[in-house]
Amino acid sequence: MPQPPAFADILAARELLAGYLPATPMWSYPVLDAVTGATVHVKHENVQPVGAFKVRGGLTLLSGLTPAQRARGLVTYSTGNHAQSLAYACAAFGASCTVVMPETVPEAKARAARALGADVVLHGPDMGAAQEWAEKLAADGDRHLVSPGDTPALLAGVGTLYLEIFEARPDLDAVVVPVGSGTGAAAACLVAAELAPNCRVIAVQSSAAPAAHDSWRDGVCVRRPNRTTVEGLATGRGFTLPQHVMRSGLADFHLVSDTQIAAAQRLLASHAHTLAEGAGAAALAAVLARPQEFTGQRVAVVCSGGNASTAEIAALGEGAAPVLGE
């Protein structure tokens, strides 16, 4: 297993990223607070240049590679946001980028990665098949394979968003983080241990793709069916590096339904003027699902991305008010 980054690595990543990315805003919305019964601070990673927090990790990774490593080119696998992050970073550093995506990925996701300069290869029905093909392509072409979960530099880069959160709000009672591979929640654990040891770090995942949740609960990385429609949470296995960090750092790990996530998306749109993709609304969904756990508390929710599909955007006007505790 690769070693987790140290807190010093996250601080170094912040210095690096200052030349590429400004800090993202974190705002509270009175109407949202009234609905949740908590003081909710929304960390707006949806305003990043690729629409998601992962760009922090991509830039950190590329900056740490040697010119020879960049010249070899990079290969990775993704359903969307990680692909855009790595493509964006490779373009910034003049490296070639190949992304393997499942054949089921929406065309808009593949188009977005291509627009950033990536060579997109569609292969297989799911992320497992995409990973296997990416590994083959990397080995055959002697290119640098990038795991979206088990790459320490990605985790270090993502950690910079939690520096921003805890330095702005050191008095938080909880921070709630959506989990796909788990880099975000793991990074939150590392930074909270240094800056906010009394703040609970709570992970959240779709109940229709519970591999990371079950890996954390069972203490060993497992595979689970991946049936969620929330693309940013659509992983079928636990990743070793983030799981190692989360096992000692998480206060809890919640599951929410895709229906609850969609309700949280509508609430963010109507009460916080925020377009969130499903993964970006999952943290708020967890707060809505357990009002007894968060009422009266100061809570940060990470809106991890805003790359909502056209179907998600169309659905924002449908349905009723969020369903609490479903």
* Residue the block writes with tokens 């924002």: 316
pLDDT at 318: 74
pLDDT at 321: 45
Q: Clarify whether residues 102 and 180 are in a common domain.
A: no
Residue 321 lies in a domain: no
Q: Clarify whether residues 85 and 44 are in a common domain.
A: no
Q: Clarify whether residues 310 and 164 are in a common domain.
A: yes
Q: Clarify whether residues 118 and 44 are in a common domain.
A: no
pLDDT at 322: 45
Q: Which residues pair with 97 in a beta bridge?
A: 74
Q: Clarify whether residues 29 and 60 are in a common domain.
A: no
Q: Clarify whether residues 102 and 230 are in a common domain.
A: no
Residues 6+ apart with CB under 8 A from 181: 82, 148, 149, 212, 235, 239, 242
Angle between helices 258-271 and 278-289 (to 10 degrees): 100
Domains identified in the chain, total number:
2
Neighbours of 324 (CB within 10 A): 15
Q: Mean pLDDT in each 10-residue stretch from start to end of the chain (326 residues)? A: 94 97 97 97 97 98 96 94 96 98 91 96 93 96 96 98 98 98 97 98 98 98 94 93 98 98 96 96 98 97 94 80 42
Residue that terminates a domain, selected from 128, 146, 164 = 146
Residue 323 lies in a domain: no
Residue 73 lies in a domain: yes
Residue 231 lies in a domain: yes
Residue 322 lies in a domain: no
pTM for the whole structure = 0.94
Alpha helices in 46-126 (DSSP H): 55-64, 67-72, 81-93, 107-115
Residue 214 lies in a domain: yes
Residues 299, 174: contact at Cβ < 8 Å? yes
pLDDT at 324: 41
Please give the single-letter amino acid code of residue 306: G
Residue 325 lies in a domain: no
The CATH number that applies at residue 35 is 3.40.50.1100
Q: Clarify whether residues 160 and 33 are in a common domain.
A: yes
Q: Clarify whether residues 23 and 170 are in a common domain.
A: yes
Residue that terminates a domain, selected from 109, 126, 146 = 146
pLDDT at 326: 39
Q: Clarify whether residues 141 and 283 are in a common domain.
A: no
Q: Clarify whether residues 277 and 128 are in a common domain.
A: no
Q: Tell me the residue range of the domain where 124 lies.
A: 54-146
Residue that terminates a domain, selected from 146, 177, 211 = 146
Separation of alpha carbons 56 and 44, rounded Å:
13
Q: Clarify whether residues 262 and 179 are in a common domain.
A: yes
Strands laid side by side in the 119-122 sheet: 119-122, 97-101, 74-77, 144-146
Q: Clarify whether residues 161 and 293 are in a common domain.
A: yes
21 three-state secondary structure: coil
pLDDT at 325: 40
DSSP 46: G
Angle at 268 between CA 262 and CA 272, to 5 degrees: 175
